[in-house]
């Protein structure tokens, strides 16, 4: 039997476009955050808090990923921020190729910060790099404290986990310390915050975290440009 | 359930590799899947059987090598297997760990069918 080598990564077609997206975002000085969670965990509600909190300091844009419809876009249209809807048709997640055309529109709009709301799903979005700088993940109290160990890949992708709907803690048997412990088992060192998109509790912490990350990206890009400039002049 | 897209990438990768081999038929495709690849081998196999119909790789069998989920500790250097999805170092308790294996998702090799096998096919 004749055997031949292939050595082809099966996510490479997506990863290649994600790398292009990441370069495009860096070129245009745009910070991008991918917001992921199960359906109904509060992604759009978080944006309803975050957009007004960030809009006076940054030019924002939103990409909304949904299987069908534009219900979420309609919720966000009143904030004076451009919102681009992507309908995935049947696909249960955004991928780098789907997002790519909207990045050009985001850059043309002059945005500095892009907030991407992924399709509500704890499984598939974790596999697909979009080229984003950070992943913010929501785990809502009503989903249960057992989720980190049931969906480890998603929790490992997250740079920030916000445990949302904490206003409902006393109505449920959600074990908050247990949930935080499970998140830290699966992803040691990840940032964990608690929020309520109903009362606004903890939202300022998420906004502060985002501002810190935006500043970090700007500093990194400036550093890279400062390093690249003399070499460019010399040639 | 994104195994269908991954099966399509698999078929494309194999067909691309076969371009030079004019009429070779593929008997076996060896695929490495990490424990934490996030892919069901059963669903991938089923998607492959459905989507390979009518392609050059129709009839090929997928053989999976499951790669264990291993950690390397940046603090003490110990390599360990991940137990109960705890990603701290079991030796020193450090949180500064990296997944060394277990995220693989790739086609490794192909086995081409012998001529007489093609005749029987």
Complex ipTM, two decimals? Answer: 0.85
Instruction: Give residue A178's domain range.
Output: 14-222
Average pLDDT over residues A3-22: 95
Q: Is residue A201 pLDDT above 90, yes or no?
A: yes
Nearest CA in chain A to B1: A124
Q: What is the pLDDT of residue A229?
A: 61
Cβ separation B38–A123 shorter than 8 A:
yes
A123 compared with B119, residue with greater pLDDT: A123
Q: Name, in order, each residue with C-beta under 8 angstroms of A6's C-beta and a sequence gap of 6 or more.
A: B13, B14, B17, B107, B108, B109, B110
Q: What is the CATH number of the domain that holds B46?
A: 3.30.2320.50
> In angstroms, how far apart are the furthest CA atoms of chain A?
66
Q: Are A191 and A212 in contact (CB under 8 A)?
A: no
B83 found inside a domain: no
Q: What is the pLDDT of residue A216?
A: 97
Q: What is the pLDDT of residue A228?
A: 72
Portion 92-111 of B in contact with A at CB < 8 A: 95-97, 105-111
Cβ separation A156–B88 shorter than 8 A:
no
Quote the crossing angle between the two packed helices B3-18 and B41-51, to the nearest 10°: 60
Q: Name, in order, each residue with C-beta under 8 angstroms of A116's C-beta and a sequence gap of 6 or more.
A: A32, A33, A34, A35, A62, A63, A65, A94, A99, A130, A132
Q: Which residue has the tokens 């090799």?
A: B109
A235 found inside a domain: no
B26 found inside a domain: yes
pLDDT tens sequence across B28-47: 999 999 999 999 999 999 99
DSSP-derived secondary structure for B39-74:
--HHHHHHHHHHHTTTSTTTT-EEEEEEEP-EEEET
Q: What is the pLDDT of residue A91?
A: 85
Q: Which residue has the tokens 């803690």?
A: A169
Instruction: Give residue B56's domain range.
Output: 3-67+101-120
Cβ of A93 under 8 Å from any chain B Cβ? Answer: yes
Distances (CA, A) of A225 to A59, A103, A131, A183, A211: 22, 21, 20, 36, 21
Q: Is residue A232 pLDDT above 70, yes or no?
A: no
B88 found inside a domain: no
Q: What is the pLDDT of residue B119?
A: 46
Cβ separation B112–A4 shorter than 8 A:
yes
pLDDT tens sequence across A131-166: 999 999 999 999 999 999 999 999 999 999 999 999
pLDDT tens sequence across A42-80: 999 999 999 999 999 999 999 999 999 999 999 999 999
Question: What's the predicted TM-score (pTM) here?
Answer: 0.91
Q: What is the CATH number of the domain that holds A58?
A: 3.40.50.300
Q: What is the pLDDT of residue A125?
A: 92
A145 found inside a domain: yes
């Amino acid at each position: 039997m004749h055997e031949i080598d292939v050595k082809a990564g099966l996510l490479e077609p997506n990863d290649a476009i994600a790398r292009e997206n990441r370069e495009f975002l860096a070129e245009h000085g745009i910070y991008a955050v991918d917001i992921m969670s199960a359906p109904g965990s509060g992604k759009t509600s978080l944006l309803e808090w975050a957009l007004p909190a960030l809009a006076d300091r940054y030019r924002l844009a939103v990409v909304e990923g949904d299987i069908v419809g534009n219900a979420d876009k309609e919720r966000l249209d009143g904030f004076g921020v451009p919102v681009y809807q992507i309908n995935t048709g049947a696909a249960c997640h955004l991928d780098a190729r789907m997002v790519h055309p909207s990045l050009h529109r985001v850059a043309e709009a002059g945005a500095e910060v892009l907030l991407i709301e992924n399709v509500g799903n704890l499984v598939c979005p974790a596999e697909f790099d979009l080229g984003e700088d950070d992943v913010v993940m929501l785990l809502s109290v009503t989903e249960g404290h057992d989720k980190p160990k049931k969906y480890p890949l998603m929790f490992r992708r997250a740079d920030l986990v916000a445990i949302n709907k904490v206003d409902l803690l006393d109505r449920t048997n959600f074990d908050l310390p247990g949930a935080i412990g499970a998140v830290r088992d699966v992803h040691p060192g990840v940032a964990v915050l608690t929020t309520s998109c109903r009362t606004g509790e903890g939202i300022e912490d998420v906004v502060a975290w985002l501002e810190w990350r935006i500043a970090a990206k700007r500093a990194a890009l400036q550093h890279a440009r400062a390093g690249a400039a003399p070499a460019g002049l010399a040639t | 359930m994104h195994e269908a897209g991954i099966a399509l990438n698999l078929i494309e990768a194999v067909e691309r590799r076969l371009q030079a081999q004019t009429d070779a038929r593929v008997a076996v495709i060896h695929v490495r899947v990490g424990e934490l690849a996030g892919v069901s081998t059963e669903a991938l196999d089923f998607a492959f059987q459905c989507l390979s119909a009518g392609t050059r790789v129709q009839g090929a069998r997928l053989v999976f090598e499951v790669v264990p989920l291993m950690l390397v500790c940046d603090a003490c250097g110990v390599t360990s297997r991940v137990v109960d999805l705890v990603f701290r170092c079991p030796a020193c308790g450090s949180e500064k760990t990296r997944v060394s294996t277990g995220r693989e998702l790739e086609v490794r090799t192909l086995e081409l069918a012998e001529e007489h096998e093609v005749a029987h096919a």
